[in-house]
A and B are shown apart, each in its own frame.
Chain A
Amino acid sequence: MAKQLGFYVNAGRCVQCQACEVACKAVNHTELGPRWRRVVNRWDGEFPNVTNIALSKACMHCAKPSCLAACPVEAISKRAEDGIVVVDREKCIGCKSCGAACPYGAPQYGKSGKMQKCILCYTRLDAGKQPACVSTCPGEALSFGPVEEIARRAGAVQPEGVNQPSFVIVPAYRGVKAEEYAEAFFPR
């Protein structure tokens, strides 16, 4: 593989506005229901010492995708040029094995029952644009790039996982540690 693209989230800059979610739906004309991208919130502490931390999540475009391994009809593949995980909906039989296998909840199913999910806006990348979620983010929390490059950015942590998610986070303020993020958002 030439390179592996992935998302970068500077969690301290996420203000949970959900512009990324709606931008994603709008640009992909996603049907109602499925959410290729989601802002997930977790509460921490007790009133009045309470805060919340958030993560904008989509497909992790894993180096070793659990969904790909689970698919019985080889409908899921990784693009050779950038490692983006894609699904061939002609081949997909809607068995949802991928949904059961993915620890991040990335595969979504709409009316047809076939799998759909974030494709890292590869059609936009091919046209020289950024993913819709990245370009709209008012807090500049979201970014993307070759994983080895974004992982070198200040404070960046690449969560561990058997499927090697292509994803990098900078943990939020108030001393929330990367491990807490892993626990909250990256089930093992």
Chain B
Amino acid sequence: MSTTTAAPTRRQVLAVTGAAGVASVLLSGPSAEATPTAAAAEKAIPTFCAMCGPSAGCGILAIVRDGKFVGIESWPDAPLNHGKNCPKAHAAPQWVYSEQRLRYPLKRVGAKGEGRFQRTSWEEALDTIAAKLKEQKARYGPESLAILSPAHRTYSNYLYRFLTAHGSPNYGHSGICAVQKAFTFSYTLGAQPQPDIDRTNLLMIWGKQPVYAGSSKGSVKQLLDAKARGAKIISIKPTTEPDVALSDVWVPIRPGTDAALALAFLHVIVTERLYDAAFVEKWTFGFDKLVDHVQRHTPEWAEPITGVSAKQIRDVARLYATTKPACIDHGNGFEHAPGCNSAIRAVAILMAITGNLDKPGGDVFSGGRGGGGRGKPLGLQDRYTKEWVDKLVGPEFPRALQPGGEGTSSAYYRIFESVLTGQPYPVRAIIAPGTQPTVSTRGTRNVIEALKKLDFYVVVDVMQTADMAFADIVIPVATGYETDHPFEAGEGWVMARNKVIEPLGDYKSDYEFWIDLGVRMGYGTDFWNGSITECMNEQLKPYGVTQEELRAKPAGIRQPRREPVYEKYEQVFKTPSTRLSKPPYLPQGKVAIYNTTWEDNGFSPLPEWVEPPESPTATPELLHKYPLTFSDFHTSKVYNAGWLRNVPYLREVMPDPTLQIHPETARPRGIAPGDWVIVESLYGVVKVKADVNPGIRPDTVMLLHGWWQGCNELGKPYYPLLRGGANANLMYSTDTKKAYDPVVTAMTSQTLVQVRKA
């Protein structure tokens, strides 16, 4: 991506020189033999890592030498991670001083997609955005604006506030991450439970990667400690990952078939009467209907669908149901299939009928381990009305069940669809803060066409993005190391984000940008008249401190952790929903095995198996041409979604996009380890490197999503978003009838492919 800009000012030259200076320190010879730096010249600032999202909260000591952020040290007192950090945390200075940082606001001067920009001032950038949004609001209504959900979620609050003040319900959520689970668990169990790993005797890791997802925040230590304690560990996932090596049992499930496996587990537990009859009797609704329903979901039925033997299904169901307490650590793996809502409901029912719900060592209702705390909600949700919900351009959840936990939401891809089809009305302006629609959602071709057609596109980010070339205005924001707000909070702690270095460019923070834009739009009374301090103070109210008081305690404020309370069924099963009239999530005040809310809205009240658009059992006729199941990984140890591949120390760990492929699958295709291969589906093609290993189902291949960035320092090129690239989104169906969950709009991550040597 090339950008032409006006001649840099002196300040910019200095900033660039500063960056280059640090880069040369980082990339030139080792300093091992150099004189150790005197401790006095260094500052160690307790703050939070800012390398990933959606939540954060991993404490670091940021080391500053001569005004430069040079590295991190362990901070043993950090509330969540106790001094442990993942690879990303250590590479932060290379990210902060990257040549790809956006340094000042840009306006497009070339055609959309061409990537020609000119430097502009903050004033002009904000004025341009405000003028356009005001004009569109007057002509097309406020709902013509959509804001896309960022990967880092601490500022979702501000986006919701801006949309509400503006009058648009169209917060565009990705439809593949966390909210699908939170929504469906709430409507089945009253809330989303978390595994009580510290007290369990059996841990079932299902569709989750505990090593890559917040490894330093305790999930790795919890897993290892459970193992050392003698807890049984079962891993349900298509590939062998480090947690599988720790497991007693690996269930190598075919991607996207979790609902079928969970239904078969239910069949075994119900027919063999391995359930907790007392809990079922007292606290569940519709168990008798489940008994009838799952008769046909035998392990033999599930075997060809899931690729897991009937014997293993029986063994694992029995082991899970007869080991007490047992818990399920569930991940995003569930949320990438058209049967997503059924898979989540079936898993929730497993937790309930085995009597593990809200028991020590089971699946407990609590505030979780924290991180990414947002304080007082700022979304102005009390202004929502039925008319408001009706205006949603493409609801993420059915209108009758809106708003969800965060607020009203449209599905990310449906916003782009509206631009292309004009149905039910076209969205005219999209703001993309910290998100990249060309790599973050399905149907990249459609997204690109929509971005070309769209009236007005604004990118807000710290770094050049995959779709920045389509932006009318690009807003550069500070990294979390260059700002002193907001704050992080979790159970029993709250701490300011302490600024590490002065901003390297002409920056505001994301938060300041939204406040400034709000004021510029005339929404000043909703945006603290431009005062970030007042904003922070309001957000901090639940903690009883002001921003100033919090900042006076750089290491934060701690309160002793409360002893957990279990079996809170009376309370949790009455939890009011977030819908307009606030009816409880569970109409019967019991676990919704038979879900009348679903039934009332035209969905199956019991979990059903839904085939992906293509699979060996759904479309066997395709197998002669596309014999392998394809899916993608949601997360990795060194990257965050579609970012961080430009960070050299991280790129060294995973230099190329690789396809996990079994040796028996590679050999007849003449594919050797490290060969470049072409992967082709009905919809798209990617070119990636073969990682030939025995730790994957021989009938399945998998790729990490999010590849587009190059890494200049390592000579790694930028990948095209379309043909010739490694964009997993190209590979899947975008048929809205088949590829998306009708209740929660989860998008399929499964298809059939052929693989050949490039």
Docked pose: A31 CA to B649 CA in angstroms: 9
**A residues near B81, Cβ cutoff 8 Å:** 138
In the complex with contacts A18-B637, A21-B87, A22-B649, A28-B32 CB distance below 8 A: yes
Cβ-defined contact, A26 with B245, below 8 A: no
Q: Count B interface residues, CB 8 Å.
A: 59
A110 at the binding interface (Cβ < 8 Å): yes
In the complex with contacts A50-B240, A137-B84, A29-B90 CB distance below 8 A: no
A188 at the binding interface (Cβ < 8 Å): no
Cβ-defined contact, B653 with A21, below 8 A: yes
Contact partner, B224, options A46, A48, A111, A139, Cβ 8 Å: A139
**B residues near A33, Cβ cutoff 8 Å:** 652
Docked pose: A111 CA to B272 CA in angstroms: 66
**B residues near A12, Cβ cutoff 8 Å:** 224, 227, 246
**A residues near B693, Cβ cutoff 8 Å:** 43
Q: Which of B210-218, B349-357, B509-517 is near enough to bind chain A?
A: B210-218
**Please, what's the 1-or-0 string for A48-87, where 1 marks a CB less than 8 Å from any CB in chain B?**
1011111000000000000000000000000000000011
**Which of A17, A45, A88, A173 neighbours the largest number of chain B CB atoms within 10 Å of its CB?**
A17
Docked pose: A135 CA to B695 CA in angstroms: 30
B255 to chain A, nearest CB (A): 15
Contact partner, B252, options A47, A53, A110, Cβ 8 Å: A47
**B residues near A87, Cβ cutoff 8 Å:** 33
A55 to chain B, nearest CB (A): 12
Q: Which of B22-30, B143-151, B362-370 is near enough to bind chain A?
A: B22-30
A117 to chain B, nearest CB (A): 9
Cβ-defined contact, B695 with A52, below 8 A: yes
Cβ-defined contact, A138 with B221, below 8 A: yes
A128 to chain B, nearest CB (A): 10
CB-CB nearest in chain A for B243: A15
Cβ-defined contact, B695 with A138, below 8 A: no
CB neighbors of A among B708-757 (8 A): 713-714
Cβ-defined contact, A47 with B662, below 8 A: yes
Docked pose: A81 CA to B85 CA in angstroms: 30
Cβ-defined contact, B29 with A136, below 8 A: no
B650 at the binding interface (Cβ < 8 Å): yes
Interface size class of A (residues with CB under 8 A): 35 or more
**B residues near A32, Cβ cutoff 8 Å:** 27, 648-649, 652, 713-714
Cβ-defined contact, B215 with A26, below 8 A: no
Docked pose: A137 CA to B93 CA in angstroms: 20
In the complex with contacts A135-B74, A140-B221, A43-B695 CB distance below 8 A: yes
B481 to chain A, nearest CB (A): 14
**A residues near B211, Cβ cutoff 8 Å:** 15-17
Docked pose: A25 CA to B653 CA in angstroms: 11
**Please, what's the 1-or-0 string for A1-37, where 1 marks a CB less than 8 Å from any CB in chain B?**
0000000000011111111011101111111111100
B64 at the binding interface (Cβ < 8 Å): no
Docked pose: A31 CA to B26 CA in angstroms: 7
B-binding residues in A (CB < 8 A): 12-19, 21-23, 25-35, 43, 45-48, 50-54, 86-89, 110-112, 116, 119, 123, 126-127, 129-130, 132, 135-140, 172-174
A-binding residues in B (CB < 8 A): 25-33, 36, 39, 71-74, 81, 83-91, 93, 211-212, 215-216, 220-221, 223-224, 227, 240, 242-246, 250, 252, 637-638, 648-650, 652-653, 662, 693-698, 713-714
New A-B pairs, 19, CB < 8 Å, besides A16-B211, A52-B240, A139-B220: A15-B211, A15-B215, A22-B638, A22-B649, A22-B653, A26-B71, A29-B25, A32-B27, A32-B649, A32-B652, A33-B652, A43-B694, A47-B695, A51-B245, A127-B36, A130-B74, A136-B83, A136-B84, A140-B84
